[in-house]
Amino acid sequence: MSANDSRGPAGRQNAATYDSPFMKACRREAVPHTPVWFMRQAGRSLPEYRKVREGTAMLESCMRPDLVTEITLQPVRRHNVDAAIYFSDIVVPLKAIGVDLDIKPGVGPVVENPIRTRADLAQLRDLTPDDVHYVTEAMGMLTAELGSTPLIGFAGAPFTLASYLVEGGPSRNHEHTKALMYGDPQLWADLLDRLAEITAAFLKVQIEAGASAVQLFDSWVGALSPADYRRSVMPASTKVFDAVASYGVPRIHFGVGTGELLGLMGEAGADVVGADWRVPVD
């Protein structure tokens, strides 16, 4: 596990959070109690979240450092959890590089021009720190407020980003995604490789700004078999994890409905793999 070999307080990790229960657990060290944190923002479960989000669209909320800071801190204040999760959305880096998309209430991310051909890849330029300056600002505000409580950076994994881009929005069966993956494996590989570069750049911004750990969230990868995952998804996820390995911060990987994939998700380069409610912890 690379987190066990991390450079500790002398490296990228924040000295104030290094010995926290969450960080110790990530390194598989003895902890005073089992650390608890939210995999994603507390969201609709908190009345204070609903109040602060009133009249503000999701993507706008993710681009306002004041709101990001407030929402990230809410579950820490209310529940005294052992780590904060940066408030964001998986499509934020795509929006930041100019992809025409929006998050429709009650629907989810909707992409105006889905990616179906090689020419469509032109939508995906490189992400620079200036594209997400609000992330750097919010991270600075948060680390100042959190003190010894670790802050977990957050990004969507290449497969899930690809599924939204190819389908044009949420999908139950991912027909277009699988058609591209099986029908044009080279275009699929190039798409995921491009998304891996964008995602890695997004996580690097967060680590540079003070994130103590980072999480790669693969909402829809449970739609694939282990063989498809290994062949068509794992190389891109590995590229993301490898790109941030030198920082020495723990890398978390989580997917939904991924019981059959947990071993492979660990092989992709994660230090911590999340199991959803379908998988008994033991």
Domains of the chain: residue spans and CATH: 2-274 (3.20.20.210)
How far lies 192's CA from each of 88, 121, 205, in Å? 21, 10, 20
Set 18, 49, 164, 247: catalytic member: 164
116 carries an active-site annotation: no
Determine what percent of the chain is predicted with pLDDT higher than 90. Answer: 85
89 carries an active-site annotation: yes
With contact defined as beta carbons under 8 Å apart, do 181 and 163 qualify? no
Nearest one of 218, 223, 219 to 268, comparing CA atoms: 218
pLDDT over 80 at 219, yes or no:
yes
Set 18, 27, 49, 53: catalytic member: 53
Q: What is the pLDDT of residue 58?
A: 93
Give the separation between CA 137 and CA 152, rounded to whole angstroms: 15
Give the separation between CA 49 and CA 237, rounded to whole angstroms: 31
- What is the average per-residue pLDDT within 42-69? 93
pLDDT per position as a tens digit, 6-16: 433 334 557 88
40 carries an active-site annotation: yes
Query: Read out DSSP for 30-60?
Result: --SS-----SS--GGG-HHHHHHHTT--HHH
Q: What is the pLDDT of residue 13?
A: 58
pLDDT over 60 at 258, yes or no:
yes
Set 12, 49, 89, 131: catalytic member: 89
pTM (2 decimals)?
0.93
Banded pLDDT at 149 (limits 50, 70, 90): very high
**H runs (alpha helix) in the chain:** 21-26, 47-53, 58-62, 65-79, 92-96, 133-146, 158-167, 175-183, 185-208, 226-232, 234-244, 262-267
7 carries an active-site annotation: no
How far lies 139's CA from each of 13, 68, 152, 242, in Å? 14, 9, 10, 22
